[in-house]
Structure 1
Amino acid sequence: MCQKIRMENVAIVLHDTRIPENIGAAARAAANMGVGQLIVSAPRHLDMERVLKVATHSASGLVKAMKVCSTLPEALGGFNWIVGTTARLGGTRRVNSSPADLAAKLIPMSSENRVAVLFGPEDRGLTNEDLQLCHELVNIPTAGFSSLNLAQAVMVMCYELFQARTRAPECHIPRLACRHELENMYEELKETFARIHYINHENPEHRLDKARNFLSRYQLRAREVSIIRGLCRQVVRYGSQCYKDGAAAGAAGSPKNQETG
Structure 2
Amino acid sequence: MRRLANSPSRSSREWARLVRDAAPVRIFTGVEELLRELDEAKVPSPSVVLLHHVRFAHNVGAALRCAQLLGAQGTVLLGGVAEQASRFEEALRISMAQRHQWRLRVAATATPATMQVLDAFKRYNYTRICVETDTAGLSSPPTSLQQANLCGAAAFVFGAEDVGVPFEVAESCDELISIPTLGKGSLNISHAVALVLYERQRQLMAADGRYTEEGIETLSRLVKRVLARMEVCLHDLSVTVTTKPCLLRGRLSSAARRVTP
Counterpart of 1:131?
170
What amino acid does structure 2 have at the position aligned with 1:166? A
- The Cα offsets for residues 200-231 of structure 1, whole Å up to 9 and x where unpaired, read as xxxxxxxxxxxxxxxxxxxxxxxxxxxxxxxx
What amino acid does structure 2 have at the position aligned with 1:78? A
Number of aligned residues: 154
**Which among 151, 158, 181 is matched to residue 197 of structure 2?**
158
Pair 1:49-2:89 in alignment: yes
* Alignment of structure 1 residues 52-201 onto 2, 5 Å: 52-57=92-97, 58=100, 60-62=102-104, 65-69=105-109, 70-79=112-121, 80=125, 81-92=127-138, 94-102=140-148, 105-107=149-151, 110=152, 114-164=153-203, 165-166=206-207
Distance 2:62 2:113 in 1: 22
CA apart distance, 1:76:
2.1
**Which among 50, 70, 83 is matched to residue 33 of structure 1?**
70
CA contact (8 A) 1:24 1:53 kept: yes
For residue 82 of structure 1, give the secondary structure of its aligned residue in structure 2: strand
Calculate the aligned-residue CA RMSD, in Å. Answer: 2.3
CA contact (8 A) 1:8 1:37 kept: no
Distance 1:87 1:157 in 2: 13
Distance 2:192 2:93 in 1: 20
For residue 162 of structure 2, give the secondary structure of its aligned residue in structure 1: coil
- The Cα offsets for residues 45-100 of structure 1, whole Å up to 9 and x where unpaired, read as 442321122101347521xx201232212332322311111111332253342212
CA contact (8 A) 1:25 1:55 kept: yes
CA apart distance, 1:39:
0.7
Over alpha carbons, which structure has the higher Rg?
Answer: 1
Distance 1:48 1:91, change over 3 A: closer
CA contact (8 A) 1:8 1:35 kept: no
What amino acid does structure 1 have at the position aligned with 2:193? V
Distance 1:125 1:7, change over 3 A: farther
Distance 1:76 1:60, change over 3 A: farther
CA apart distance, 1:148:
0.7
Distance 1:77 1:85, change over 3 A: same
CA apart distance, 1:42:
1.9
Distance 2:101 2:74 in 1: 11
Counterpart of 2:52?
15
Distance 1:163 1:17, change over 3 A: same
Distance 1:99 1:41 in 2: 23
What amino acid does structure 1 have at the position aligned with 2:117? A
CA contact (8 A) 1:24 1:54 kept: yes
Distance 2:62 2:208 in 1: 33
Structure 2 unaligned spans of 5+ = 1-42, 210-261
* Larger RCO, structure (CA 8 Å, separation 6 or more): 1
What amino acid does structure 1 have at the position aligned with 2:53? D
Counterpart of 1:194?
none
Identity of aligned residues (%): 26
Structure 1 unaligned spans of 5+ = 1-5, 169-261
Counterpart of 2:13?
none
